[in-house]
Amino acid sequence: MRLLVLGGGQLALMMCWAAARMPMEFLAHDPDPRAPAYRCAKKAEDPLRAVDEADYVTYEFENIDEAVADYAQRQRKLRPHIDYLKLKKNRIVERETLEGLGVPVPRWAVARNPTEALELAEKFGRAVAKWPAGGYDGKGQYLLPRETPEGGPLLVEEYVDIKREFSIVAARGEDGDVYFYPPAENYYVDGILVWNYAPTEAPPEAYRYVEKILGWRKYVGVLAVEFFEDREGRILVNEIAPRVHNTGHWTLETDASQFENHVRAVVGLPIKRPQAIAPTAMVNILGLATPPIRELEQLGKVYWYGKAEARPRRKMGHVNIATPTAEETKARARTALKILYGREFPRLVMRPRTAPRAAAEPVPPY
């Protein structure tokens, strides 16, 4: 059996680690010859030919070539369904689709240009303007009225008074079997995930929203849904990720990780349910060329992606910390944050937030 992954970042790398002991051939395609997944995966040079030769095709993130995904969909090899990818190619389409499914989202509107965005922002009080495409980890987002947005059209939405951010990662097999990993509580700085903790609680309606999204085009694979809980008690879906997700990296400490379940589901194997789940934290290693490995290993397990170079905010690796108690796990996560980012946490290594406009090519998110 041959599985092709479009995109070769750390998510594809970790899928490959999970697939390595399974009876399958694992290929990845990425325009960057130094992509992390090539530490493990076979290199697929010509993506269309690789689709022809693969039994199944999946993708590790949204910014892949849609034409290749389309080609795989036409051969009925792509999982999850292409419509989830199309939705993620445009935040405005994402919002419309979620609302159509009856899933609550922050109040939003479309601005044709920056001036219109500022006018709309007045209506919302405080607002966030987002590029419909090309943004990630907080890039392409502007706080209004303080910042001046660029480009257009822009998705303009209310600034949510967030009490808590959590996510639910779910796996769905081709037989329709669904498993929800316990929700994770996520901590962001400047729009980028810094650390998270699981298991946490989520209200029943959150699971219903995830089910609706899974049912929309009969999802196959792992899906992540990011939620806001605001100070008035509203539960809103911020965005979805039709793939394995950074907020699910903690599941590597279970006996059925998101990566294993994604690979299993897309090749038609039944999904697995982890047997036991310890209180687990995940701390992202951002922007560092080399990790303080000895110190971090006193606290937990280090995963290093082997990227060719470090840049500010770039996800270079992560540490997973699992202990018998929530208190101990969180205490160790705080220590890891101190080791990595020092006293200046949370501001350190975070800049620059917006990529220079002059950059000719888009910077990949890994």
Ligand X SMILES: Nc1ncnc2c1ncn2[C@@H]1O[C@H](COP(=O)(O)OP(=O)(O)O)[C@@H](O)[C@H]1O
For 349, the 3-state DSSP assignment is coil
Q: Which is nearer to ligand X, 137 or 229 (CB)?
A: 137
Q: What type of residue sits at position 16?
A: C
CA nearest 306: which of 122, 120, 36?
A: 36
Residue 351 CB partners (closer than 8 Å, separation 6+): 312, 313
Q: Which is nearer to ligand X, 163 or 338 (CB)?
A: 163
Binding mask 73-112 for ligand X (x = CB under 6 A): ---------------------------------x------
Give residues 220-239 in contact with ligand X (rule: CB under 6 A): 226, 238-239
Q: Which is nearer to ligand X, 159 or 345 (CB)?
A: 159
Question: Could you tell me the smallest distance in angstroms from the CB atom of residue 236 to ligand X?
Answer: 9
Q: Is 137 in the site for ligand X (CB under 6 A)?
A: yes
- 177 sits in the region (left: phi over 0; alpha: psi -120 to 50; else beta) called beta
Q: Is 222 exposed, middle or buried (0-12, 13-18, 19+ CB in 10 A)?
A: buried
Give residues 171-210 in contact with ligand X (rule: CB under 6 A): 188, 191
Distance CA 9, CA 197 (A): 23
Q: Is 62 in the site for ligand X (CB under 6 A)?
A: no
Q: Which is nearer to ligand X, 159 or 304 (CB)?
A: 159
Question: How many residues belong to the site for ligand X (CB under 6 A)?
Answer: 16
Binding mask 299-328 for ligand X (x = CB under 6 A): ------------------------------
Distance CA 254, CA 49 (A): 36
Give residues 249-268 in contact with ligand X (rule: CB under 6 A): none
Pick the stretch among 4-12, 147-155, 159-167, 195-203 that binds ligand X (CB under 6 A). 159-167
Q: Are 139 and 353 within 8 A, CB to CB?
A: yes
Binding mask 139-158 for ligand X (x = CB under 6 A): ------------------x-
Q: Which is nearer to ligand X, 93 or 277 (CB)?
A: 93
Per DSSP, the residues of 192-236 read EEEEEEES----HHHHHHHHHHHHHTT--EEEEEEEEEETT--EE
Exactly one of 104, 114, 134, 135 binds ligand X (CB under 6 A); that residue is: 135
Question: Could you tell me the smallest distance in angstroms from the CB atom of residue 262 to ligand X?
Answer: 19
Question: Could you tell me the smallest distance in angstroms from the CB atom of residue 115 to ligand X?
Answer: 20
Distance CA 224, CA 203 (A): 16
For the chain, how big is the Rg over CA atoms in Å? 20
Q: Which is nearer to ligand X, 114 or 135 (CB)?
A: 135
Q: Which is nearer to ligand X, 42 or 164 (CB)?
A: 164
Question: Could you tell me the smallest distance in angstroms from the CB atom of residue 171 to ligand X?
Answer: 21
- Could you give the count of Cα atoms lying within 13 Å of 10 in the half-sphere of its Cβ? 20
Q: Residue 353 is encoded by which pair of tokens?
A: 């937030």
Question: Could you tell me the smallest distance in angstroms from the CB atom of residue 138 to ligand X?
Answer: 5
Q: Are 28 and 12 within 8 A, CB to CB?
A: yes
Exactly one of 160, 168, 220, 252 binds ligand X (CB under 6 A); that residue is: 160
Question: Could you tell me the smallest distance in angstroms from the CB atom of residue 189 to ligand X?
Answer: 9
Q: Residue 335 is encoded by which pair of tokens?
A: 């220590």
Which secondary structure element, helix H or strand E, spans residue 152, and what is its range?
none
Residues that bind ligand X (CB under 6 A): 106, 128, 135-138, 157, 159-160, 162, 165, 188, 191, 226, 238-239
